[in-house]
Structure 1
Amino acid sequence: MTPTSRYRVQSLQQAQISTCLHHERIMLAPLSQSEATTLAVGLRRCLLKGFEGTCFSTLKIKHPWVTKNKKRCYEYLALPGIRETIRDIMMNLSSVVLAGIPIEKKKAKLYTGQEVGVFEARHIVLPEGIYCLSPNQPILTVVVPLELELELTIERGSGFRIRDGGEHEDGLFLDARFNPILQVDYQIQRAERKLEFDRNEKISNIKQEALPYKIYQKNSLSITKEQTEIKEQIDDELSEKENTLHLQLQNEQEQDYFCLLFFDIWTNGTIQPIEAMQEAARQAIAVYIPLLRFASTVPLKTIAQKN
């Protein structure tokens, strides 16, 4: 049996909670306690750190009141004619899920014109190759007709970047969640391994196979000298087999259980959980491949011990 043939991967549950929220429960078995712990920690780190995604990174607001009074936009500013504060708008934009791979930073715009009402993510004009998976995400509510324009920067990256609250040359920084993996939980459970035979049954089988029927006849007076020698020889073989069996059963008792490793993965819909698990496994394997291919070119030096 090859080292990889004894492991089994199974998808226990799949659910699409919404367009931008997918969940899957994956099981890996059988594993030892150390194997389960090592895989759980390593794969979880790869899932939460090793993926790239696309999202809005900065925001510029062009509002008539801001332009006229030459005001500086900041996070907690309330703009006339808009129900939400700038902070609320920034949080709503951070919740928009984008798909696509921009080669460089691209711009997107939301223009309200003279319309009044709730503007959602579907009203944002996106560049070619970028599309929105959460079109019903509310962005802002305009209560009076005004010329409002939001200029957004689309960026691709990894991990999570927290805004600093200040205004920069590119605009206000948003909370940029690049990683499409929203959450990863794991659980390790022990399961007992059922032994095929107990010790008494195995010893009984050894006796029936090893000793001739005549030696265990009830009339022991009929046993000849030749049969006695055979019996002593077989007793020695039986004793050796019992000792071997005892060591084997002792080893089985130490390995009479195995572990099940369960992963619960939530993604934003740009990647499926099982695909994310496969990519995390590739990233983990890529670390070990150089070790497998490593050939030492440094000559060994013999250290002479001084007497």
Structure 2
Amino acid sequence: MFREKVTICSRLLQWKCVESRVDNKRLLYGRFTLSPLIKGKAETIGLVMRRILLGEIETMCITRAKFIKLPHEFSTIAGVEDSIQEILMSLKQIVLRGNLDGIHGATICFSGPGYLLSQDIILPPSVEIIDNSQYIAKITEPIDLFIELIIERNCGYRRKSPKNLQDGSYPTDAVFMPVINANYSIHSYGNENDEKDNHEILIFEIWTNGSLTPKEAINEASRNLIDLIVPFLQVEEEKLQVEKFKTRLVLPLYPLYDQHRKLLRNEKVKRMERDLEFEHLYIDQSELTPRIYNCLKKANINTVLDLLYTSREDLMRIEHFRLEDLHRLQKLTFQS
């Protein structure tokens, strides 16, 4: 009985992209909805997803620059209109797209006069510049300007070190944040007087800098959320045994998604997902006698998941709970 209800709820839950637009190369917008959600769930999902979107999605950016024959970052380069600080600021704003891990090098070799743009950066393979027209500096004289760059992949925001590196390169503030902004709102619908017919819809709005689309950003955030949850579900196979005199639900080994970060949808995962839904099935939905129901409520057993995680010994310690009550619960809970 319970498993059928869980299957229906899972099938109704839908995640949709209702709007997507490109304002410019460095500003993409997407609006998404997730529904129907049990009252109270939307706030939890919205808060967690927003924090991950804004601070835990990886991207690439320029983190260091080295100018040939430059004594310090407050020096000036003859024939260059912009200061070193202004050039570093422009380099920090270059938006890159790529999946390379670790630290990689890039170079700029420009002959003036003219405008030095982001398209003049020589990048490693598999890395691209989102907007080739981003301004870096203005060269006013016929000189050759050579700059060595360091590109890294990370997440969040990293302030530059107050001291320059020993190799003569100058660090920049690293902004590993492809999501510029993320907002969510919650809307209720249905019958407010009936808990079973009162649902919520979660609406997400996401703006990115172009290194990821809003849809890619929300997919990446979902995978990061799975990374946070999986360690709690990892257990050894030999420990997945029911103790001799206990009727306890045991979670199967949760398989991790493969090296391409794709979740393996095998039978164990599907079975575990159904079992996790028991957390939202309350015992008043089951065919319990009033006396058994009252005994469980007094023991603070409110959901089917609470019941499944309560051992036989703990149940028998409940006041007025009898052995025949235990047999009745086993028939109701574990019928296939």
**TM-score, normalised via structure 2 length:** 0.62
* Separation (CA, whole Å) in 1 of partners of 2:97 and 2:130: 7
Question: How is 1:176-187 mapped onto 2 (pairs within 5 angstroms)?
Answer: 176-187=174-185
1:162 to 2:144 alignment:
no
Letter of the structure 2 residue corresponding to residue 279 of structure 1: E
Aligned to 1:72: 72
Aligned to 1:122: 119
Question: Which residue, out of 64, 68, 80, partners 1:62?
Answer: 68
CA contact (8 A) 2:73 2:85 kept: no
Aligned to 2:31: 25
* Separation (CA, whole Å) in 2 of partners of 1:286 and 1:104: 20
In structure 2, relative to structure 1, the CA distance for the partners of 1:297 and 1:84 (3 Å cut) is farther
* Separation (CA, whole Å) in 2 of partners of 1:163 and 1:175: 5
Q: % of aligned pairs identical?
A: 27
Question: Which residue, out of 271, 277, 301, partners 2:218?
Answer: 277
RMSD: 3.0
1:260 to 2:201 alignment:
yes
**TM-score, normalised via structure 1 length:** 0.68
Question: How is 1:158-307 mapped onto 2 (pairs within 5 angstroms)?
Answer: 158-170=155-167, 171-191=169-189, 193=190, 252=194, 254=195, 257-292=198-233, 294=235
In structure 2, relative to structure 1, the CA distance for the partners of 1:119 and 1:11 (3 Å cut) is same
Greater relative CO, 1 or 2 (CA 8 Å, sep 6+):
1
CA contact (8 A) 1:36 1:260 kept: yes
* Separation (CA, whole Å) in 2 of partners of 1:188 and 1:16: 25
* Separation (CA, whole Å) in 1 of partners of 2:242 and 2:155: 38
Letter of the structure 2 residue corresponding to residue 124 of structure 1: I
Q: Which runs of 5+ in 2 are unaligned?
A: 247-310, 315-336
Partner SS, residue 40 of structure 2: helix
Aligned to 1:40: 46
Aligned to 2:87: 89
Letter of the structure 2 residue corresponding to residue 152 of structure 1: L
Q: Deviations over 1:162-191 (max 9, x none)?
A: 223532124111122223222211112233
1:149 to 2:146 alignment:
yes
Q: Deviations over 1:125-165 (max 9, x none)?
A: 22233221111000000112223211111122222212235
In structure 2, relative to structure 1, the CA distance for the partners of 1:298 and 1:255 (3 Å cut) is closer
Q: CA deviation at 1:40?
A: 0.6
CA contact (8 A) 1:165 1:172 kept: no
Q: CA deviation at 1:277?
A: 1.5
Letter of the structure 2 residue corresponding to residue 167 of structure 1: N
Aligned to 2:137: 140
Q: CA deviation at 1:103?
A: 4.5
Between 1:274-283 and 1:133-142, the stretch displaced more is: 274-283
* Separation (CA, whole Å) in 1 of partners of 2:226 and 2:97: 27
* Separation (CA, whole Å) in 2 of partners of 1:88 and 1:33: 50
* Separation (CA, whole Å) in 1 of partners of 2:233 and 2:211: 33
Larger radius of gyration: 1
Partner SS, residue 11 of structure 2: coil
* Separation (CA, whole Å) in 1 of partners of 2:100 and 2:232: 34
